[in-house]
Structure 1
Amino acid sequence: MTIRAVIFDFGGVITSSPFEAFARYEAQRGLPLGFIRTVNATNPDTNAWARLERSEISTAAFDAAFRAEALALGHDVPGGDVLPLLAGDVRPGMVAALRACKAAFQVGCITNNVASEEDIGWGPSVKHILAEFHHVIESAKVGLRKPDPRIYLMMCEALGVEPAACVYLDDLGINCKPAAQLGMTAIKVTGEAQALADLAAATGLTF
């Protein structure tokens, strides 16, 4: 099927991966490398992280709940320390690719985020980029989060396209899997150059 839409994740795709900030924090605090990701991967559908991204708990409640989960795994990490690490740095090449895609296709963004964007450092520059998309779905606003297949179908309905007509980019394989199962061309993003090359191959555009 001909590509009609390109759907982007935000953090780790349009911006640099928060995992880089996690690693810096872990090094500074003498924590095991990958510890924050380990906390997030434990009970991934019901833990503090998942509940925050579905707006089931406040950021204040997240601070305590994440800390309790971290302590259970052997280290003291308040949730309030983790949230500011999420913002990342904007990747200019990906923003340019977004605009090129917008000139040729429908473009959407599906992002797992939190209700209080100030807690993760989403300033005017990020909101300006979000305004470029034809449609944005934020987990905290709809009460669903990736990798729930329903959130991808929600985007397809909003853009008026079938999944098979979509390219989907995300930095997490667990989020690419349901997209691929629905029929989308899924691209796992490991870096800006790789993402641009794979997106060019999938769309026929030049970036």
Structure 2
Amino acid sequence: IVCSPFIAISAYEREHGIPDNYLNCSIVERGHQGAWQKFERGELSLMPFYEAFSRDLSDTENGNKWYEDYCRRRNIACPPLPKQLNVDGRELFGAMMRLSAEYDPHIIEAIRRIRAVGRHKIIALTNNYARSGADSQIPPSELKFLGWDEGGATPKRLQSLFDDFCDSSVMGMRKPEPDFYLLACERNDLDPREAIFLDDIGMNLKAAKKLGMETIRECL
């Protein structure tokens, strides 16, 4: 429903001469203990996240190894890799958030039509930052920088589109962790085999499929 923040990552890579998808590889390969993953589970507040995110993405020792593996898996030539990086986590995250504040009007209309029929529940299962966006310690200038000055990280106008809004930072788990999907189903009295799951990320879709959900890949 929102523009993918990963578009902003690609733009940052191009602007700073970083190989395509390098930073995303670093985010994913950090796994459960990465700054991004902790932030989405509500385990880090905003300012400590900036520092940890910068540190994670500037780690070329691991980043280069992960990117070489990524190229091998896809059978593509590995470009020259950076000897050192100084990624500004705040700058990058700000660009990601401002971009993701834009909604796709076609998806919004589709949601409204489905809900109007009254036969199906529309449930958002989102890796999100609502807990951090609600932090009263964040200065107004920082909220504006992130595009969170009108309703925080998850405005009520977005939440109101759904019958239920399952936010990773509130629930303490995130996609593709199976328990996140199962809890969303449980609190909506839904068998996973009755659900249709839409997402634009392969690992999230695979996790849903393993639980018996029908899946649809959304193309950006």
Q: Under a length normalisation based on structure 2, what TM-score does the superposition of the two structures give?
A: 0.74
Which consecutive residues of structure 1, in runs of 5 or more, have no partner in the other structure?
Answer: 1-13, 192-207
2:176 corresponding residue in structure 1: 147
CA RMSD of aligned residues (A): 1.9
2:58 corresponding residue in structure 1: 71
2:15 corresponding residue in structure 1: 28
1:81 correspondence with 2:91:
yes
Q: CA deviation at 1:137?
A: 0.8
Give the Cα separation in 2 of the matches to 1:126 and 1:93. Answer: 19
Contact 1:135 1:158 in 2 (8 A): no
1:181 corresponding residue in structure 2: 210
Indicate the percent of aligned positions where both proteins have the same amino acid: 30
Give the Cα separation in 1 of the matches to 2:197 and 2:177. Answer: 14
Contact 1:108 1:134 in 2 (8 A): yes
Deviations 1:128-171 (A, max 9, x none): 12212111111111111111111111111122111111111111
Q: CA deviation at 1:120?
A: 4.6
User: Where does 1:25-104 land on structure 2 (aligned, <5 Å)?
Assistant: 25-73=12-60, 74-84=84-94, 85-86=96-97, 87-88=99-100, 89-103=102-116, 104=119
Structure 1, 102-111 or 67-76: larger mean CA deviation? 67-76
Deviations 1:92-127 (A, max 9, x none): 100111112222311100111122234753445953
SS of the aligned residue for 1:106 comes to coil
Q: Under a length normalisation based on structure 1, what TM-score does the superposition of the two structures give?
A: 0.79
Name the structure, 1 or 2, with higher relative contact order (CA <8 Å, separation 6+).
Answer: 1
SS of the aligned residue for 1:136 comes to strand
Give the Cα separation in 1 of the matches to 2:87 and 2:156. Answer: 29
Contact 2:197 2:216 in 1 (8 A): yes
Count of equivalent residues: 178
